[in-house]
Amino acid sequence: MALNSSGYKRKTFDDLLSDMSAKAKQVFGENANVSERSVLGILLRIMAWFLSLAWQDNENVYYSAYRKTAEGAQLDMLLPYAGITRNLDQYSFGALEITGTPNYLVSAGFLVSKKNTDIFFETTEDLILSPLGKGIVEIKALELGTAGNTAANTITEIVNPDADVLSVTNITETKGGREKETDLEARERASITVEGIGSATTNAIRTNLLKIPSIRAATVKENFGDVPDEYGTPMRAFQAFVLGGTDQEIAAAIFEKKAGGIQPYGTTYVDVIDDSGNPQQVGFTRAIEIPIYIKATINTNTSFPSNGIEQVKSMLIRYIGGSDVDSTIYAGLNMGEDVIESRLIARTFQVPGIEDVSIQLSTDGIDYSDSNIFIGLQEVAQLDANNIEVTVIV
């Protein structure tokens, strides 16, 4: 049987062909010719091939029922059971300064683009230029994803020329664009959220915080003692350390899951309105970001891709967390998780064409070593693509 107490075991093409050949000899006699050039052998191989596809589909159906093995749309349908949904791709936004005829009305939908690219943006609202002929308006990328995340002063081309508009430039970087959350990222986030189903526990509070897409890391420390702990948490209180998110949404998430009569302590306090309409002070503490610097030396062969260096950087950032080459922000390690050199090396080997890797780490960009970096409970490691130096040896 394919399904037993050990799970599902799919029969391969070779397994099916062996079983069918044995059955054919049982029916037609031991001298039946089932070789690959005989008529019977050819028929058996054709049927075995189609049956192997059916077995493969059955295996996919079996694994699609479980969150840790489901993929794509099947995973999307299981995520709500963990209390989350997949984070979808997002548009990038920014601020555009327009210079032109004084008091001129620039209608919403005015198209601009990044210089020498096909990355387009449009204004989201009407703008009347000032008497000096200047104005600032919000722009939105036309396409979803990270392509719209670009540095300041790079969006300078007017797509549809207007005699009353002389020049444009984005005075700040455009950001917020992200790709659709991958299956791996969704599974990891779901595994965290199911740990804290319920209320009035530190796991429940942490889970509720991590359900907010803009929060990249969180941990909650409670103090059972009779004196303040090493993080300043008073007795009979808890302190949430959070990376990302807005003050209001963090406070609301903590208040929703905290136990009655227990103080949510922190260095930042926000008023949350309770069910009776009264304000309640909720405290939390912003995480201390520990910048990570990496020097990687890789030996490669001819299989190493042309964008291999960018792939190496992306692998390291996805593991640690931080800002990728395309400005995508990844959550990576959680609060208090150490940066382990051997795990970074293992991630680097996922890029094809790499034969050997050596990695050195630093927290200041000056002193590097091959030692692990230890992160405190209230700290979180963060890696920026600009802080990674990759040396390729062919």
At residue 1, the pLDDT reads 65
Let me know if residue 243 belongs to a domain: yes
Let me know if residue 77 belongs to a domain: no
Beta strands in 53-177, from DSSP E residues, in sequence order: 93-100, 105-106, 111-114, 120-123, 127-128, 134-141, 155-158, 165-170
Task: Say if residue 362 is in the same domain as residue 347.
Answer: yes
Let me know if residue 340 belongs to a domain: yes
Let me know if residue 8 belongs to a domain: yes
Task: Say if residue 149 is in the same domain as residue 231.
Answer: no
Task: Say if residue 345 is in the same domain as residue 321.
Answer: yes
Task: Say if residue 336 is in the same domain as residue 389.
Answer: yes
Task: Say if residue 245 is in the same domain as residue 339.
Answer: no
pLDDT > 80? residue 327: no
Q: Name the token pair of 84.
A: 């989350």
At residue 295, the pLDDT reads 95
Count of structural domains, the chain: 4
pLDDT tens-place string over residues 328-380: 778 788 888 999 999 999 999 999 999 999 999 999 999 999 999 999 888 99
366 Cβ contact list (under 8 Å, min separation 6): none
Task: Say if residue 146 is in the same domain as residue 219.
Answer: no
Which one, of 77, 18, 23, 27, lies nearest residue 48 by Cα? 18
Task: Say if residue 238 is in the same domain as residue 294.
Answer: no
In three-state secondary structure terms, 268 is strand
Find the domain containing 12 and state its range.
3-63
Nearest-angstrom CA–CA distance, 224 and 214: 30
Q: Which residue has the tokens 């209180």?
A: 237
Task: Say if residue 279 is in the same domain as residue 332.
Answer: no
Let me know if residue 181 belongs to a domain: no
pLDDT > 80? residue 151: yes
Task: Say if residue 8 is in the same domain as residue 54.
Answer: yes
Let me know if residue 312 belongs to a domain: yes
pLDDT mean over 154-161: 92
